[in-house]
Amino acid sequence: METLNYEFPGTQPAAAFAPVLVGVVASGNLEVLVEPAPGARCAFRIETSARGFGPIWEAVVRDFHARHPLAGATVSIHDMGATPAVVSLRLEQAAASLPRRAP
């Protein structure tokens, strides 16, 4: 197992929310858990069975955060060999489940 950590400044705080879980840890898949966190940053913690893919993980989470600059959130990913496309799909599903603040 390898654990990777990334953190980005956020500009879009979600409304108050309960933790959101999408996906399932299984061969070729992963689960994404989004939890509220104090502050204005978004932290990603990735536990993966595939070692040596840090640059690819960083590119995928940077791309996601560019589209969804979440603030005050921790994103935990438990991976069992998912492809970048599956990772992006699960992240988008989690983001779609988060409540938005009223303008």
Q: Given this model, what pLDDT does residue 103 score?
A: 54
Whether the pLDDT of residue 101 is over 80: the answer is: no
Q: Is 66 left (phi over 0), alpha (psi -120 to 50) or beta?
A: alpha
Residue 25 structure tokens: 């840890």
| 76 SS3 class | strand
Each residue of 19-75: pLDDT tens digit?
999 999 888 899 999 999 999 999 999 999 989 999 999 999 999 999 999 999 999
Q: Which residue is listed with tokens 């960083």?
A: 58
Q: How far is CA 64 from the centre of its chain?
A: 8
Alpha-helical regions (H) of 9-83: 54-67
Q: Given this model, what pLDDT does residue 59 score?
A: 96
Whether the pLDDT of residue 102 is over 70: the answer is: no
CATH of 2-96, one of 1.10.3470, 3.40.50, 3.30.230, 2.60.40: 3.30.230
DSSP 78: E
